[in-house]
Chains A and B, each alone.
Chain A
Amino acid sequence: MVKIDVTKHMLVPEHIILDEEETREVLEKYSINKESLPKIHITDPVIKLIEAKEGAVVKIIRNSRTTGSAIYYRFVVAK
């Protein structure tokens, strides 16, 4: 079976792993802790591909019909 690079698919938005500093900034901006972020499972195809670790925060840049792009954050969880 041919393995497909899902990140190249037009419907899959760009996922970026945030470093500690960036993560801290995001959490501060919304005055929350990681648990209050939307979650994404570690077995998610994109997460597996970009090799994000459990506990990491990923920034997702989605296309938007109205604003061009929309930013979303997700907390990587194992269960």
Chain B
Amino acid sequence: MKPKRIKQIEFGLLSPEEIRKMSALKVITADTYDEDGFPIDMGLMDTHLGVIEPGLRCKTCGRKVDECPGHFGHINLAMPVIHVGYVKLIKNLLRASCRSCGRCLLNPREIEDAKVSLQKCLDNGLFNETDTVFKEVVREASKAKSCPHCGAEQKKIVLDKPTTLREERHKLTPREVRGRLEKIPEGDLPVLSVNPEIARPEYMILAVLPVPPVTARPSITLESGDRSEDDLTHKMVDILRINQRLLENRDAGAPQLIVEDLWELLQYHVTTYFNNQTSGIPPARHRSGRPLKTLTQRLKGKEGRFRSNLSGKRVNFSARTVISPDPFISINEVGIPYQIAQELTIPARVNRYNIEVLRELVRNGPDTYPGVNYIMRNDGRRIKLTEKNAEHLADEVLEEGCVVERQVIDGDIVLFNRQPSLHRMSMMAHTVKVMKHKTFRLNLCVCPPYNADFDGDEMNLHLLQSDEARAEAMILMAPQEHILSPRFGGPVIGAIHDHISGAFLATYHREFNYEQVLDILEKINWLKGMPEPDRVDENGIRYWKGISIFSLILPEDLNLDYKASIFDTDLPEEDTIVRIRNGKILQGTVDGRSISAFKGKILDTVVREYGPDEGRKFLDNVTKVSLGAISQLGFSTGIDDQDIPEEASNQIREGLQMASDAVAKLVRSFHEGILTQLPGRSLEETLEVEAMKVLAKARDVAGEIAGKHLGLGNSAVIMAKSGARGSMLNLSQMSGSIGQQAVRGERISRGYENRTLPHFKRGDKGSEAKGFVKSCFKDGLTPTEYFFHAMGGREGLVDTAVRTSRSGYMQRRLINALENLRLVEDGTVRDTDSVIVQFKFGEDGIDPAKSIAGNPVDMEEMFKKRMIYNQENDPLKKEVKE
């Protein structure tokens, strides 16, 4: 059958007659079940409304549980009540119509005009524009002092939230409101936003309330045997009880006051039945104090029907646990605990080639790994394996054509995911490696794309259930295929932290002895024999340079020239400019610029020119060599890495004092009015700008002084300069000065009357009073400095909180708009109706992941390559060599 296309959806209102007509039962008793647990006739659980208990039959349609869809019932309300969902519209209708004759309070010509502009909107398909017309009509009509049709004087109507309407001081009862609405003639309704063909305004006042089928509000039986009713049932009980009391009081001729109170109570219950979060009234609560989840709450928000049940689904064959690192597995692998491997299964169809292998698995049963949890026999029966029946099933039942649900084994393809899944690299296809212990293990190089760390992060894992899915995932979703990011055309997967420190330590002026080299090469499974030593000392002891060891893992014909992270004009070029010829590092230091995620130059080149397979091998080897080296050499940082000589501290303190004095001088000249005003700035702004300039400079100078005493022998400096972690700014804040704290990009200025804290004089504009922190983290902050620092820090936290929620919402909307687009074979991008969105992907057909930082070709690099080639093949040089 051809799928049908929904052209439009019409929303209308049910009339009391329609509600009665579609009702299978008039509900009159508030009781649900009798002592024997049977539904009470004419009660809320009457089997006319559908069945939820097995064995019983529906009295309306005669079907059993799951076959009967359930049927609506109804309650006749003793007095009419307002439907909360429509109060705004009711208010507008009352205001825009005559209180005496019911006509719209515009003169006939204006009504005609409005009808014309409405029709125009509909003809042009501008359905959203109709709202403006309605708003205009209501605004103009409610201005009328008297009716243009009958001349009756009009009174002001106000809405007292949530459901009380007042005309001047008189409270309108729902009955009066209904009377007014009934009088509005059909001809005037269209301009008041009501379509008379599908709704009458008086239907918004409820005289009959539909009772949802029991299937929509099933009761649950607790373990203790007690029955617990759905929140909607509770609400219906409340409505029925009050309705009954209201009916009795009214018929007995009770005082008006009592009847009115009960009427209002009925209104309250019906209101909360629709929406228990109506503003202005307390939410109805369960006996335990928990607010009831009524109709609106079922639909709305993240946990509502739409977002939780229709847009989102739960899946089987998935697992979640804490993650931890393992540098000895590949970036393509994921370590899985036995406990999880034994729970998760993959279906395998038995054929003549695999029957013996599978028979052994079946024989293992569910408890001996690797085993089988279920067998699907040829007749379709699913049998659960136990210790006891495993042997029997393996020998007697297993045959070709059966489906065996076998436990996960090494080499299976699984999807691995960490929330929030903001880009495609948040979900990649890893190869399983079953391991001891209870965490998922992953190679550290894949931390950046998942944005994972190991401070308690958990990740999800999904088993692929079909061969097609596995093949597709392996080819498209493996981490090695995502080393280069489509976001910026560089590596997102790459070395981080200790890998970089390790590479730096190994390659910066470092030699290794025989044992050390052996230890490192053993880790990468090096089988090509010991490389030639770089140096043999007078005792005949052989030494290998770190860069030589590192060269072993490079492709043999790699040629590359670039500046290392530690590049600095003060350092000799041999250390800071990396030169690679034919896979040999001739000079330079391997650090962040070479191998790191986001910046790694060697990594980028290897993946681009030798493909993802080589890229993966390279990264796996980098991990092992770097960590091998760092384990050999040892590396740690501590508080004494922030120590600087007494003399340097004094120098820093003097510099900061001078800056403070300079600011004081600026403030003085400001007060004396001799400060030179900057163009386009007020005098005050000038002072702020100048003070900020002086203080920023002071911080930098303090950092420089501190930096001078922190050399490459310092672990913290090694991490900062090699690009492993932290920056020199972080270090200068630890041992130099923290610097100016800012809120909204300005020096701190708010708090008390004309001052930031009571510790300062009013109007003090000096550096200390405006949030300049002279101290460094190591020495510690003064109380006022600490307070300013907290102010600056808090702004950062608030900003990120606001940003994430806003960008999350924007992304949700973007994805909802774009998720159905696909790339067609002819290169066009189309939507589900095959309407073209782009004639070429991105209008240029370039895969951003394969671009060079966004450009289709890297001319500079090509020229550089050619130059290296020319140098290498220089005929003059060749002769010399020979």
Alpha-carbon distance between A22 and B837 when the two chains are bound, in angstroms: 20
CB of A62 within 8 A of chain B? yes
Q: Which of A38, A66, A71 contacts B836 (CB 8 A)?
A: A38
Known: A30-B826, A72-B839, A73-B839. A64 touches B844 (CB 8 A): yes
Q: Report B-chain residues with C-beta under 8 Å of the C-beta of A36.
A: 830, 833-836
B124, B125, B835, B837 pick with most chain A CB within 10 angstroms: B835
Known: A36-B835, A37-B836, A38-B836. A70 touches B826 (CB 8 A): no
B844 contacts A70, CB within 8 Å?
A: yes
B837, B844, B845 pick with most chain A CB within 10 angstroms: B844
Alpha-carbon distance between A71 and B827 when the two chains are bound, in angstroms: 13
Q: Which residue of A lies closest to B848 (CB)?
A: A66
Q: Which residue of A lies closest to B125 (CB)?
A: A79
Q: Which residue of B lies closest to A71 (CB)?
A: B839
B844 contacts A66, CB within 8 Å?
A: yes
* Chain A, 3-37, CB within 8 A of any chain B CB: 30, 32, 35-37
B843 contacts A30, CB within 8 Å?
A: no
A38 CB, min distance to chain B CBs, angstroms:
6
Q: Report A-chain residues with C-beta under 8 Å of the C-beta of B828.
A: 30
B835 contacts A38, CB within 8 Å?
A: yes
A70 contacts B836, CB within 8 Å?
A: no
Q: Which of A32, A62, A66 contacts B834 (CB 8 A)?
A: A32
CB of B159 within 8 A of chain A? no
Alpha-carbon distance between A76 and B125 when the two chains are bound, in angstroms: 16
Alpha-carbon distance between A70 and B846 when the two chains are bound, in angstroms: 12
Alpha-carbon distance between A37 and B828 when the two chains are bound, in angstroms: 11
B124 contacts A79, CB within 8 Å?
A: yes
Alpha-carbon distance between A62 and B838 when the two chains are bound, in angstroms: 13
CB of B856 within 8 A of chain A? yes
CB of B421 within 8 A of chain A? no
Alpha-carbon distance between A4 and B219 when the two chains are bound, in angstroms: 70
A70 contacts B840, CB within 8 Å?
A: yes
Chain A: interface residue count, which band?
Answer: 10 to 19
Q: Which residue of A lies closest to B846 (CB)?
A: A66
Known: A30-B828, A30-B836, A36-B836. A70 touches B124 (CB 8 A): no
Q: Which residue of B lies closest to A33 (CB)?
A: B834
A38 contacts B843, CB within 8 Å?
A: no
B849 CB, min distance to chain A CBs, angstroms:
14
CB of B855 within 8 A of chain A? yes
Q: Report A-chain residues with C-beta under 8 Å of the C-beta of B125.
A: 79
B855 CB, min distance to chain A CBs, angstroms:
7
Q: Report A-chain residues with C-beta under 8 Å of the C-beta of B834.
A: 32, 36
A32 contacts B124, CB within 8 Å?
A: no
Q: Report B-chain residues with C-beta under 8 Å of the C-beta of A30.
A: 826, 828, 836, 839
B718 CB, min distance to chain A CBs, angstroms:
40
Alpha-carbon distance between A66 and B833 when the two chains are bound, in angstroms: 29
Could you give, for residues 45-79 of chain A, a 1 whenever the CB lies within 8 Å of some chain B CB and a 0 otherwise?
Answer: 00000000000000000101011001111000001
Q: Which residue of B lies closest to A39 (CB)?
A: B835
Alpha-carbon distance between A70 and B844 when the two chains are bound, in angstroms: 7
B843 contacts A72, CB within 8 Å?
A: yes
B844 contacts A32, CB within 8 Å?
A: no
Q: Which of B830, B839, B856 contacts A66 (CB 8 A)?
A: B856
Q: Report A-chain residues with C-beta under 8 Å of the C-beta of B856.
A: 66-67
Q: Report A-chain residues with C-beta under 8 Å of the C-beta of B843.
A: 62, 64, 67, 70, 72
Q: Report B-chain residues with C-beta under 8 Å of the C-beta of A71.
A: 839
Q: Report B-chain residues with C-beta under 8 Å of the C-beta of A66.
A: 844, 846, 855-856
B14 CB, min distance to chain A CBs, angstroms:
34
Q: Which of A35, A70, A72, A73 contacts B835 (CB 8 A)?
A: A35
**Interface residues, chain B, with chain A CB atoms under 8 Å away:** 124-125, 826, 828, 830, 833-840, 843-846, 855-856
A-B contact pairs, 6 of them (CB 8 A): A36-B833, A36-B836, A37-B835, A70-B844, A71-B839, A79-B125
> Beyond A64-B844, A72-B839: 7 further Cβ-contacts under 8 Å?
A30-B839, A36-B830, A36-B834, A37-B835, A62-B843, A66-B855, A79-B124
